[in-house]
Structure 1
């Protein structure tokens, strides 16, 4: 149990004896007060009253504030709880500060890089979750939607791992369909082997753009593209050999770029790999009597009674569609990974499509629990993303532009730049650029659109990724300069200043923030918490000197700042950011 949990249970135990509410109900009602008070926890007795009124044996006064005062007078102080005061219909609790400080800081010390989630019960066998994210299309730009998918999917992966899931991260490439037939036709006209080996993603994109221009003027190109794709679906080895080469070269290029983001996938999959499962999709649909034939000879699943229209399954010429292939991928993943839930990090504009996909899967497998645990992790659009050199259509362009922007700032500090050196500066600038991109993306609720701003996101003074990295590096600097061992058994009575206790309270909230972020899959919950933690750490460090203080005072303060830095490190790591120790 987290340290905060022990204090909450102490409150719930007393209240359960006074109010006849059970402890789980009270625990659900305990909150951190929204404004600064002398209380660390609060309970709305009005909310508890709503539960109690369902019990005919309980008589409550009409005025909740009277009941609140009477309840406060019955609370007994103990080794954890110091005070209980009435505030309208709210009951505020103050903790024994030294004991609270001791339990929180010792918890961080013992759990270290797992603080925030070490208290989560570990199941005997980890459940498996598959997460589908990033998913660029071969020969098409890695656009802003793919960037957001990469960021949100990586966060979902990391926080599921923290919550004791076995996670399979899948990059489901768009490597199949008529678009690939079009690329193959284009490569016959415009392909260059040297350019392909030098930069496969950019070259295939250039080819794709050129053949699309030709296709607008020559209908024969569309016919050739369809014919080529049909050869692929029929297993033509010559067509598939070229496809494999393009696919493998593209994956190799993507891997190097993902490494800059500290992202690794457990599996590179794609529509091409589920070909053998498509007949099984049709079989399951027929077994459940779900297929209906349309007037033009195509097949669909009628979802009208669910207000989801008709889900098209097969074209009239017998070829598959996106939905068919996504159903086939579910069958493949079910067989391969035996997953208990599956997530798809895709833009909110695809919400209708995923509702259709999930409903068809549920109808195909009405008895299977996994079919009811499919979740669309949606996100809004990025507006205004461009570099100073033009539109940033590839992930590498975006990362390079962020790095260049940070390098411009770093070169202005000549002394520090010369001390770090060119290579060191590039490494730091790259990590700061990545941090800036990730935090700008995750600081608002994921369903919201946001406007991309190079200047705002790289500002070290605002609430940005650069600021969070600076806060972590500065905390590391305090440890280096103080040269004091971190010990868990210091004199906690010496951390009596308001700034110290406020920082302890902020540190204590981290496990709850992690659980909230997991429940909602909203990284902004963690991001905004880390901003508050960083500001509280900065405020405390200005008034609580470590170096030069009395040894016992310095030791206690060092543990406090180390715990704050460790919490910041853990939060950044959950968000997919490598914390910097020096800047």
Structure 2
């Protein structure tokens, strides 16, 4: 059932004409760029470059394709085969294909797209840790944090549906010199009254001011270092103030995560790895990987990776980000024994993570490819230190009034919830519609434009499809007359639905959410085109049943895609 049975039928017809085995042919069958070019295409140059010379393909690829196309006769599954240059295009029989795809969606429902994948691991379920969001304490959750939070949540969800045991970790920046600088700033600018009224906003203001002062007075950096050193040495007053600021910050973040429908298995932070820092030094020393610098600082020798040494202890004995990140690697190795570790952090940290993974591999004897940096570009125009970052809560509250769209249905609708979800959908889709590494500028007008490819459009498409199902009053059944779905718009919509499992697999391979987003736009446009000409309500019952199943399958696929992206699909707007 589904696409696979048709791909196998094609592979079986090709087996006598090539030296490839069935799995090899299945892996080479691709969806053409344009739907009119058929349902699958086989590139002979790709076949030869992948598997080497084939004794059964002696002619030039163009000639071989023409000969094979002439030999393959119509079957129950294949309508015709055409040769286009060095490629074979396979056009499938419409009714069997339509029946197979729609029945697959009917059977799998909210598992459509990955139901066939989860069993691949057998009894062993691999574990992956995903490190994402990770804001610094005492700073607002602003749009600059969105990329890690949204992309990390997607990476978590797609690993879950692929059968992994996933441990999502929010690893707070709650330690180090940057906190020392905040403490120095609070001593100078802190106001207990303002802290009680709006703690995060006040701490953020303090942080911006002290950074501005430090640009003019470098001695403030030394004071910050000294303060942090006192924390590492267990100063009770310094640690008590740190704990208070940390608790206030986490409480604020949790409100945002709940609103975004995002949850973590573990809340952690740099402060919680202190017991493992001595272990880092001991392991690296035992492996003869530590080297002492001229000023007495300690570094890891990365010669084996062709890299310069990387510092893990300052001359004054304090730890660095690298030290604490290596300590967290050891801690997670003990706790989770993960098969894969993914860090969702900006592209500007690419060099740092190359060093971290090299150190981690040497320290743990794990292959370096078990560590992955899922990097992403910047949101332009936002800086925490300069105070130009917009607070996400304020942004969403300010703009969620103007995103309402209506399909004429007002019953049982919570307009506040709908507006909130539309705002979140708009933010998520703008962030994920381009490749991870691409920078973008945050723009409310563009992301909420109902005429463009936006999160608002996708939510409207889903709500409209739900409205059709409610109003048509047609029985949903898989035992309908599929031959009635003969229009070109119907076949193109079914084709688009059929792409979904391959889209999911491709997105998982690259960890690119834009693959999902752009597919959902294509699906929504195909659904809209079909719904303009293929009426359901008040039609002949047999025709209405077939069309209803088709539109329901499209809506189910759209719902699965939105959910995979971390978006709550709206049934009404």
Q: TM-score, normalised by structure 1?
A: 0.92
Give yes or no for the alignment of 1:111 onto 2:105: no
SS at match of 1:312: strand
Match of 1:535 among 505, 525, 530: 525
| Deviating more after overlay: 463-472 vs 484-493 | 484-493
Q: Distance in 1 between matches of 2:217 and 2:518?
A: 53
Which residue does the alignment assign to 1:471? 461
2:138–2:246 Cα contact (<8 Å) kept: no
Q: Does structure 1 residue 265 correspond to structure 2 residue 255? A: no
- CA drift at 1:537: 0.1
1:215-294 alignment, distance < 5 Å: 215=214, 221-294=220-293
Instruction: Give runs of aligned pairs for residues 523-562 of structure 1, distance below 5 A.
Output: 523-562=513-552
Q: Secondary structure at the match of 2:436?
A: coil
Give the one of 403, 408, 413 matched to 2:402.
408
Q: For the Cα contact (< 8 Å) 1:488–1:559, is it kept in 2?
A: yes
How far apart are residue 264 of structure 1 and its match? 0.9
CA distance in structure 2 between the partners assigned to 1:358 and 1:427 by the alignment: 42
Which residue of 2 is the match for residue 395 of structure 1? 392
Which range moved further: 288-297 or 175-184? 175-184
Q: Which of 450, 469, 488 is 2:478 aligned to? A: 488
Alpha-carbon contact 1:442-1:527 (below 8 Å) kept:
yes
CA distance in 2, matches of 1:51, 1:189: 66
Q: Which residue does the alignment assign to 1:169?
A: 168
Q: Contact (CA 8 Å) 2:141, 2:253: kept in 1 or not? A: no
CA drift at 1:305: 5.5
Q: Which has the larger displacement, 337-346 or 72-81?
A: 72-81
The 1:67–1:219 alpha-carbon spacing in structure 2 relative to 1, beyond 3 Å, is closer
- The equivalent position to 1:75 in structure 2, one of 65, 72, 76, is 72
Is the partner of 1:269 in helix, strand or coil?
strand
Question: Partners of 2:51 and 2:441 in 1: how far apart?
Answer: 48
Distance 1:384 1:420 in 2: 41
Cross-structure match for 1:90: 87
Which residue of 2 is the match for residue 518 of structure 1? 508
Matched-pair contact (CA < 8 Å) for 2:170–2:268: yes
Q: Secondary structure at the match of 1:93?
A: strand
Verify: 1:42 aligned to 2:35, yes or no.
no
Per-residue CA deviations over 1:81-103 (Å, capped at 9, x if unaligned) read 23222222211112121111111
In 2: Cα distance, 1:89 partner to 1:213 partner: 63
CA distance in 1, matches of 2:28, 2:132: 36
Paired position in structure 1 for 2:568: 578
Counterparts of 1:307 and 1:349, CA distance in 2:
20
| Length, aligned pairs only | 568
Decide whether the 8 Å contact of 1:72 with 1:85 is kept in 2: yes
Residues 421-432 of structure 1 aligned to structure 2 (within 5 Å): 424-432=414-422
Q: Which residue of 1 aligns with 2:445?
A: 455
Whether the 8 Å CA contact 2:339–2:370 is kept in 1: the answer is yes
> Contact 2:18–2:57 (CA<8 Å) still a contact in 1?
no
The Cα shift of 1:561 comes to 0.4
Is contact 1:495-1:556 (8 Å) kept? yes
Q: Which runs of 5+ in 1 are unaligned?
A: none
